[in-house]
Amino acid sequence: MRVLVLGGDGYLGWPTAMHLSARGHEVMAVDNYLRRNLARETDCEILFETPNLHQRARLWHQHAGREIAVRLGDLAEWPFIASVFEEFRPEAIVHYAEQPSAPYSMLDRSAAELTLKNNLGVTFNVIQAMSELAADAHLVKLGTMGEYGTPNIDIEEGWLTVEHKGRSQKFLYPRAAGSLYHTTKVLDTDLLWFYVRVWGLRVTDLMQGPVYGLETEENAGIEALYPCFAYDELFGTVLNRFIVQAVAGYPLTVYGKGGQTRGYLNLKDTLQCIRLSIDSPAAPGELRIFNQFVETFSVNDLAEKVRASGARLGLDVRIGRLANPRKEMEEHYYNPAHTGLLELGLEPHPLTDEVLDGMVALVQRYSNRIVPDRIFRGVAWRK
């Protein structure tokens, strides 16, 4: 299949491009380096340099003998995205191309505006481009489990049947996001659902939890093919950050009571979920929603696991308790369904001691690159 990977330079986008290419798909990766530029502007550079997207594609070709086409430009600009669709005529589109950080979206007015306009702008353009230039294509869109928030009832996979005064109707599951970034994902879902209803688009919206990890089948041991690994407060995901903190001897940044519970998954499982979604597409006029995670942990669980891993590897890991800069529940009920991707064939990689120790050992190789000032700055969810 011809698969367009939007946001193909990102933490998930580059591994996805290689993974799909390795399985025989024709892949085009598109990016505008927003992530790299924001990291530079906010002094949130990643743990180690990664080659640019053209260089990555060349390295992949040398390594695997397969081509990944690369186009650079802003997908929120209509002429650019239209030219990409016209040239490539995708059969499947993986849409990662958004500003993905909750704290960045809460930093100040201009960061909030960028997040809102960029995320909605790209999603809107993808919808328009599909309708005009790739009507039969299947969109695999990255949402987030954060769309649901932390309701006091079980979280279903995307939809909830409501019985009301003797009648019943299926609705999108109620959403209550905890940051502007997460709210843009809610708005994306609403926009997609509207165009699925009126234009019959085929869409899979993946409510993904925080991802951890670095190595995949395609890049194992080849540092130049690793994805960008952020450990700063703005762009790093929690387990990746805790591992770097452990290696740096920085007390793990647990916010408040640490009972915040979320669904997590290994980068390897993100790749499986995307591939499985592409291989069994949504039907025309279907908004299919999967909850994309493998296991749930509280922040305290993760901190304890990292401390134990550190102890096994000779590190003295301390757990810090910080006043919570976010507005969120620190102890809550959390029971989300996640059977859809398992039914499609997902074979999860759980967070075993071995997996965690492997990640800590890998990060130890880069310990001299860690800049402790990047670890915590306390972006507050102020009024």
Ligand X SMILES: NC(=O)c1ccc[n+]([C@@H]2O[C@H](COP(=O)([O-])OP(=O)(O)OC[C@H]3O[C@@H](n4cnc5c(N)ncnc54)[C@H](O)[C@@H]3O)[C@@H](O)[C@H]2O)c1
Q: How far is the CB of 318 from ligand X (least distance, A)?
A: 25
Strands (DSSP E) found in 198-285 = 202-208, 211-212, 252-255, 261-266
Diameter over CA atoms, the chain:
65
Q: How far is the CB of 169 from ligand X (least distance, A)?
A: 28
| Cα–Cα dist 75/80, whole Å | 6
Q: How far is the CB of 165 from ligand X (least distance, A)?
A: 37
Of the CA atoms within 13 Å of residue 303, those in its CB half-sphere come to: 19
Q: Please pick, from the candidates 23, 26, 33, 318, the single residue that binds ligand X as defined by CB under 6 A.
A: 33
The nearer residue to ligand X, 106 or 142, going by C-beta atoms, is 142
Name the segment binding ligand X (CB under 6 A); options: 33-41, 42-50, 54-62, 317-325.
33-41
Reported as type and span, the H/E element at residue 138 is: strand 138-144
Judged by CB under 6 A, does residue 15 bind ligand X?
Answer: no
Q: Please pick, from the candidates 22, 75, 139, 341, the single residue that binds ligand X as defined by CB under 6 A.
A: 75
Q: How far is the CB of 272 from ligand X (least distance, A)?
A: 15
Judged by CB under 6 A, does residue 254 bind ligand X?
Answer: no
Q: Please pick, from the candidates 107, 211, 299, 306, the single residue that binds ligand X as defined by CB under 6 A.
A: 211
Judged by CB under 6 A, does residue 76 bind ligand X?
Answer: yes
Of all residues in the shown chain, the one whose CB is closest to ligand X is 10
Instruction: Read off the tokens for 195.
Output: 């165009």
The nearer residue to ligand X, 22 or 211, going by C-beta atoms, is 211
Q: How far is the CB of 52 from ligand X (least distance, A)?
A: 11
Whole-angstrom CA distances from 243 to 41, 323, 362 are 24, 21, 10
Quick check: 12 and 335 in contact, CB under 8 A? Answer: no
The nearer residue to ligand X, 30 or 254, going by C-beta atoms, is 30
**Which SS3 state, helix, strand or coil, does residue 287 take?**
strand
Site string for ligand X, 82-111 (x = CB under 6 A): --------------xxx-x-----------
Judged by CB under 6 A, does residue 204 bind ligand X?
Answer: no
The nearer residue to ligand X, 12 or 299, going by C-beta atoms, is 12
Q: Which sign, positive or negative, has the C-alpha torsion 251, 310, 363, 34? A: negative
Q: Please pick, from the candidates 3, 4, 5, 7, the single residue that binds ligand X as defined by CB under 6 A.
A: 7
Which residues are tagged catalytic?
Answer: 144, 181, 185
Judged by CB under 6 A, does residue 277 bind ligand X?
Answer: no
Angle at 72 between CA 66 and CA 73, to 5 degrees: 150
| Cα–Cα dist 124/121, whole Å | 5
Q: How far is the CB of 116 from ligand X (least distance, A)?
A: 12
Q: Cα–chain-centroid distance for residue 64?
A: 25
Closest CA to 138 of 347, 284, 322: 284
* 49: phi then psi, degrees, rounded to nearest 5: -60, 140
Judged by CB under 6 A, does residue 148 bind ligand X?
Answer: no
Judged by CB under 6 A, does residue 306 bind ligand X?
Answer: no
Question: Rg for the chain (alpha carbons), in Å?
Answer: 20
| Cα–Cα dist 281/37, whole Å | 34
Name the segment binding ligand X (CB under 6 A); options: 57-65, 72-80, 331-339, 361-369.
72-80
Judged by CB under 6 A, does residue 44 bind ligand X?
Answer: no
Q: Which sign, positive or negative, has the C-alpha torsion 53, 189, 241, 265? A: negative
DSSP state, 235?
A: T
Q: Which residues bind ligand X (CB under 6 A)?
A: 7, 9-13, 31-35, 74-76, 96-98, 100, 118, 122, 142, 144, 208, 210-211, 228, 237
